[in-house]
Amino acid sequence: MAQKMQMGLGKGLSALLGDLEGGNESRSEISTLKISRIEPNRAQPRTKFDEAALEELAESIRTHGVITPVVVRRIGEDRYQLIAGERRYRASRLAGLDELPARVLEVDETEAYEMAMVENLQREDLDPIEEAEGYRVLCETYGLSKEEAARRVGKSRPAVANAMRLLALPEEVKAMVTAGALTAGHARAVLSVPAEKDRLPAARIIAEKGMSVRQAEVFCAKFGVEKGELVCGGVQKVDYTADLAERLSRDMGRRVQVTCKKGRGTLVLHYDNLDDLDALIARITGN
C-alpha cells in the first residue's frame, strides 16, 4: 500500500512525487492498470487538447508503448482517478491500449488538484484563463488563501492575484485570450477600461490593430474619454522601458522596475517576503 505523501508543492513536481526517478518508490506504487479502471479528473485545470498532437502521440505509443507512467490516486475498489498524464491517457485510448503503467499515490482530492496544477504550470500547458480558473478552484473550492495557493504551486502571491483578475473579464474577451488573440497583459489592460460595456469593444480594437501591451495600456486609459477611433487614429508613441518592465513583471510574477539613461540603468526586482526572495534567487541562479 502506498504511503500518505507529505506535500512540498512549492518545490515543483519532483517534490510532489518524491525521488521516484532515483528509485525511491516508498511513497508510491507502480502498477499496470486497466484503462477502463482509470477515470479522468473532471476538475482537471487543463481543458483543451490539440487533437492532431494527440494522434501523433498515439502513433508513437503504438510503436514504442507508454514510456512514462501516468499518476493516479485510488478512489475505490480497483478504481483510480487521473492526477497527471492526461495526454498520455487520452493518446493511449486512441492507440487502442487496454492497460497503462501508473504510479498510484495515496493523496486526497485537494492534493491531487494541486499536483495537476503544478504539472500543467511547469509544462506551460495552461492558457491564462485556465490558470486563473485553476487558482480560483484552489481558493474557493478547497479553501486556500491566495498566499497559500501561491506557495503550493511555487508562484508569488502577486502572480496568482494578477492571474485571477482575468476572471472578471467578459466571456467574449476570455475567449479571445484562450484563442491567443490577446495575451494576459492585453487582458489586464482591458480591465482598466472603466465601463464594463466598453471592455469587449476595446479588446476587439486591440486585437485588430495588433497593439503591444504598452500600446493597449495607453489605449485603454483613454478609451472612455476619447473613444477607440481617436486613440487608434495614429501611431502610438511607446515607452519601451516601461514596456520591458511590464513584460518582465508579467513573466516573473512580481513588480519589476527598469530605468535607462544613455544605455545604462538599473533593474529592480521586488519580493513579498523571505520565502519569495528564496524563490527569486533560485530562479535567477537556477538552483
**Catalytic residue positions?**
86
How many angstroms separate the CA atoms of 24 and 2, rounded?
12
Q: Provide CB contacts within 8 A for 136, sequence distance 6+.
A: 164, 167
How many angstroms separate the CA atoms of 202 and 278, rounded?
39
Are 249 and 262 in contact by the 8 Å Cβ rule? The answer is no
Sequential DSSP letters for the chain: -PPBP---GGG-HHHHH-STTTT--TT-EEEEEEGGGEE--TT-S-----HHHHHHHHHHHHHH---SPEEEEEEETTEEEEEE-HHHHHHHHHTT-SEEEEEEEB--HHHHHHHHHHHHHHTT-S-HHHHHHHHHIIIIIS---HHHHHHHHT--HHHHHHHHHGGGS-HHHHHHHHHTSS-HHHHHHHHTSSSGGGHHHHHHHHHHHT--HHHHHHHHHHHHHHHHHHHTSSPPP--HHHHHHHHHHHHHTS-EEEEEETTEEEEEE--SSHHHHHHHHHHHHT-
